[in-house]
Amino acid sequence: MNKIKSSEITPEHIYLSRRDFLKSMGIVSASAAILAACGIAPTESAQASVAPASDTQLTVPPSADTDELGGALNSFEDITHYNNYYEFTTDKERVADLAEGYPTSPWEVRVGGLVNQAKTYSIDDLRKFEIEERIYRLRCVEAWSMVIPWMGFPLSKLLAEVQPKAEAKYVRFETIYDPEGMPGFKKNPWYQWPYVEGLRVDEAMNDLAILSTGLYGKDLLPQSGAPVRLVVPWKYGFKSIKSIVKIDLVAEMPTSLWMAAATNEYGFYANVNPAVDHPRWSQGSERRIGEFSRRETLMFNGYEAEVAHLYTGMDLTANF
Amino acid sequence: MKSSTFNRLLSTLTHTGALIPFAWMLWDFFTHNYGPDPIREFTLRTGKTALVLLLLSLACTPINTLFKFRAALRLRRPLGLYSFMYASIHFAIFIGVDYFFNFSLIQDGLLEKRYAIVGLTTGLILLTLAVTSTKGAQRRLKKNWKKLHRLAYIAGILAVIHYIWLVKQGVTQPWYFAGVLILLLTLRVKPVKNWAGSRLKGV
């Protein structure tokens, strides 16, 4: 199998300018005219074609059927109906139902802390970043995995805008805290809500780390962490925090919700590592959703070339 | 109703009730109604059913003590055997489907894991009890039979621990089973048994 990065398959500028491309070909206006001729009001479809990627109905098919290692993409149905989102429920197969219709607009992400240019981003502000497709493996700490065609932009681009100060060593992320709107808060009161996650600044600047706003060419659904979530594919899934409302640059290592819940089981780094087991179960293999047999888990979830340098000289057993 | 008719009815109900989860699983299997992770789905369902039946089997003796419902005592064996049946399917899915007889993975990843060891021990206890559940074994083992079959309580405790050790912190479901088990164990303690029994008799 040739190693082809998904970003190499679809040239970014073509992918991103697909609507301009259609416009320039006159397809939008032509189709609007056809629709008008058929007595169908053209407004909706024509607007959808020129609007920013906000219409959930608009589907841009993924540029490839597999990840760069040949693993088939999981279906949209599986990706959106098997979710860990404890703010709704601890039952992975019920999150989709409970999250249906959860309001994610308007939405604000406050970015601040040790930065020179603190800024509050609306969803429209976030959409101004160039959206790229990233086909990533997601490896859950529970030893199952998926391949997901995310849409998003590098976290580094957002950080560049707010200009972290020199003393900023970590990035701290926070999920929305909404006990009225999400039933899981009251059912699971023993967790230290809100959900918090963190990265070292150099991890956050790595090109693999993205803020995602969509998958399969559609806007994220609430169960997937709409409207904006982190995706750090070389770490266990729980690091990829959902429905972010706050990002702070900080000097001290943030304590994540899972670190607080079980210090001996979930560390700050949570890098996918088949050689370092969870204290209660093996991380040596995983079940790929949609496949019959187990796969061996790869070091850094198969992204060793891209991220191993971040951890040179570190004891990965101690820094699990 | 004549007592023999009643016993037959109760027995039929028990067998039917214990087989419904199996029929349901077969139905879901053949209609592909099992969600994105079928192996996990059926492993969990067989495991939970085995645990429920084991707890029901353990509940028979306290039910007789408290309510003088002697018919319940006859249900201990079928409930225990059905629990063993589901535990066997649970184990078979785990080894034969999930790990697909990949013994190097099983050895490296599992045999040192405490949830797996506890689960395996539970299974071995249930196997021993199933093999010695016949009238013949009861005769041969004489007084020891009763002692041996008290291991069912140990199996119950280990099964609940097995479940607790599988889930992430804060997931509540195993604790409901733990609560029921603690209640059943408490009812077996002599002073509690006598006190509860006398209270109910007074009613």
Domain match, A12 and A111 both: no
A-facing residues of B in 141-170 (CB < 8 A) are 165-166, 168-170
Residue owning tokens 């789905």: B41
Distance CA B77, CA B91 (A): 21
Cα B178–Cα B171–Cα B49 angle in degrees, nearest 5: 55
> Is position A187 within any domain?
yes
A236 CB near a chain B CB, below 8 Å?
no
Q: Indicate if the alpha-carbon torsion angle B125, B42, B48, B108 is positive or negative.
A: positive
Domain match, A265 and A120 both: yes
B98 CB near a chain A CB, below 8 Å?
yes
Domain match, A41 and A81 both: no
Q: What is the pLDDT along chain B (203 residues), one digit of tens a residue?
A: 677 888 899 999 999 999 999 999 999 999 988 889 999 999 999 999 999 999 999 999 999 988 889 899 999 999 999 999 999 999 999 988 888 877 777 776 667 788 989 999 999 999 999 999 999 998 999 899 999 999 999 999 999 999 999 888 888 899 999 999 999 999 888 778 788 777 766 54
Q: Yes or no: say if A228 and A217 are a contact pair by the CB < 8 Å rule.
A: no
Of the candidates B26, B13, B150, B25, the one whose C-alpha atom is nearest the C-alpha of residue B79 is B13
Partner-chain contact B168 A142, CB within 8 Å = yes
Q: What is the pLDDT of residue B109?
A: 62
Starting at the earlier edge strand, list the strands of the sheet with A244-250.
A119-122, A108-113, A244-250, A170-175, A196-200
Among A51, A74, A92, identify where a domain stops. A51
Q: Which residues pair with residue A109 across a beta bridge?
A: A121
Identify which of A82, A262, A280 has the shortest CB distance to residue B36.
Answer: A82
Q: Count CB atoms within 10 A of the CB of residue B16.
A: 10
> Is position A177 within any domain?
yes
Q: What is the pLDDT of residue A249?
A: 98
- The residue among A95, A97, A294, A296 with the most chain B CBs within 10 A of its CB, best to mutate, is A294
A276 CB near a chain B CB, below 8 Å?
no
Calculate how close chain B gets to A291, using CA atoms only, in Å.
9
Of the candidates A21, A82, A81, A19, the one whose C-alpha atom is nearest the C-alpha of residue A45 is A19
Calculate how close chain A gets to B16, using CA atoms only, in Å.
29
Q: Count CB atoms within 10 A of the CB of residue A247.
A: 26
Q: What is the pLDDT of residue A162?
A: 97
Domain match, A208 and A269 both: yes
Partner-chain contact A285 B105, CB within 8 Å = yes
DSSP H helices, chain A, are: 6-9, 12-16, 18-24, 27-37, 43-50, 76-80, 95-99, 123-127, 155-162, 184-187, 201-205, 257-261, 304-307
Give the β-pairing of A119-122 and A144-154: unpaired
Partner-chain contact A191 B170, CB within 8 Å = yes
Domain match, A213 and A74 both: yes
Tokens describing residue A140:
């859950």
> Is position A319 within any domain?
no
pLDDT > 70 in chain A, percent: 82
Q: Which residue of B has its CA nearest to A288?
A: B37
Question: What letter does residue B180 receive in the DSSP assignment?
Answer: H
pLDDT band for position A55 (cuts 50, 70, 90)? very low
Domain match, A199 and A105 both: yes
Domain match, A42 and A152 both: no
- In total, how many domains does chain A have? 2
pLDDT band for position A52 (cuts 50, 70, 90)? very low
> Is position A132 within any domain?
yes
Q: Which amino acid is residue A223, in one-letter code?
A: Q
Domain match, A18 and A140 both: no
Does ipTM surpass 0.90 in this model?
Answer: no
Identify which of B97, B108, B171 has the shortest CB distance to residue A90.
Answer: B171
**3 state SS for B106-168:** HHHHCCCCHHHHHHHHHHHHHHHHHHCCCHHHHHHHCHHHHHHHCHHHHHHHHHHHHHHCCCC
Range of the domain at A303: 59-311
B115 CB near a chain A CB, below 8 Å?
yes
Domain match, A91 and A113 both: yes
Domain match, A151 and A224 both: yes
- The residue among A93, A280, A292, A297 with the most chain B CBs within 10 A of its CB, best to mutate, is A280
Domain match, A43 and A75 both: no
Domain match, A35 and A81 both: no
Domain CATH code at residue A146: 3.90.420.10
pLDDT band for position A54 (cuts 50, 70, 90)? very low
